[in-house]
Amino acid sequence: MVLKPWPREAEELVADMGIFEVRRAGSRSPRTGESCSVSLLGARDWVNVIALTTEGEVVLVRQFRHGTREFTLEIPGGQVDAGETAAAAAVRELREETGYAGDGPVPIGIVTPNPAFQDNHCHTYLIENCRRVGEPRPDGGEDLEVLTRPLADVPRIIAAGEIDHALVVCAFWWLARHRPGQFRP
């Protein structure tokens, strides 16, 4: 059987929530001809930044997440603003969330966070030789604790469940692919 894309019949905006839009769409199965309604989240692309210091430490942020109502340990990241490249967003997010800056951003991977109902991508960048250049300037909806950990400790931190954000775990997988033999998750 050869799979074919489902033609979109109609789409309507249900709600604009700021960071994402909720849409309802009709799609028709090319196999059965039946139409079905699907719910979609439209969002801008995101970036994740693996920021490494000259001492071999990774820059991390601890923050409260409203979805799970828990504190998480993550790498810096956020939304790509309108008219901004993903690379520029990576540099901006690193500086805003941590006060760190480093070499130019190197793209190491892209994933689709949940293609079942989301239309965006998450770009992972590596920024090396990072150093503190100022104070963090988080958004009004963020309270962040900035910390560093040896990169060699990250696999243990993930295995212990201290880092459990799926896109952050994936970012470290991209790093392992980018640096075979140097970093093993």
**81 and 131 fall within a common domain:** yes
Q: Assign 185 a pLDDT band (cuts: 50, 70, 90).
A: low
pLDDT of residue 113: 95
**Do both 50 and 22 map to the same domain?**
no
Tens-place pLDDT, residues 98-118: 999 999 999 999 999 999 999
Residue percentage of the chain with pLDDT more than 70: 99
Q: How many CA within 13 A on the CB side of residue 125? A: 28
* Judgement on whether residues 82 and 165 belong to the same structural domain of the protein: yes
Are 85 and 173 found together in one domain? yes
The answer to whether residue 92 is domain-embedded is: yes
Judgement on whether residues 22 and 104 belong to the same structural domain of the protein = no
Please, what's the b/e burial string for 49-85 (b: 16 or more CB within 10 A of its CB; e: otherwise)? bbbbbeeebbbbbebeeeeeeeebbbbbbbbbeeebe
What is the per-residue pLDDT for 35?
94
107 CB burial (10 A radius; 0-12, 13-18, 19+): middle
Tallying the residues shown for the chain, one arrives at 185
Determine the structural domain holding residue 33 and report its residue range. Answer: 8-42
Note whether 35 and 125 are same-domain residues: no
In DSSP notation, 89-142 reads HHHHHHHHHHSEE-S--EEEEEE-S-TTTB---EEEEEEEEEEE-S-----TT-
**Pair (62, 14) in one structural domain:** no
Residue 183 lies in a domain: no
Based on the domain organization, do 53 and 132 belong to the same domain?
yes
Q: Are residues 34 and 60 in the same domain?
A: no
pTM of the predicted protein model:
0.93
Tell me, yes or no, whether 68 lies in a domain: yes
Q: Does residue 1 lie within any of the structural domains?
A: no
Do 26 and 90 sit in the same domain of this protein?
Answer: no
* pLDDT over 80 (residue 77): yes
The CATH number assigned to the domain holding 87 equals: 3.90.79.10
pLDDT tens column, 6-44: 999 999 999 999 989 999 999 999 999 999 999 999 999
**55 to 20, 52, 93, 167: CA distances (angstroms):** 38, 8, 21, 25
Whole-angstrom Cα distance, residue 81 to residue 89? 7
Residue 5, phi then psi, degrees to nearest 5: -65, 150
139 backbone dihedrals φ, ψ, rounded to 5° = -60, 165
pLDDT of residue 4: 94
How many other C-beta atoms lie within 10 A of the C-beta of residue 94? 28
Task: Pick 22 or 180 by higher pLDDT.
Answer: 22
Task: Please indicate, yes or no, whether residues 97 and 167 belong to a single structural domain of this protein.
Answer: yes
Same domain flag for 37 and 51: no
For 120-130, what is each residue's pLDDT tens digit?
Answer: 999 999 999 99
Domain count, the chain: 2
Asked whether residue 134 is domain-assigned, the answer is: yes
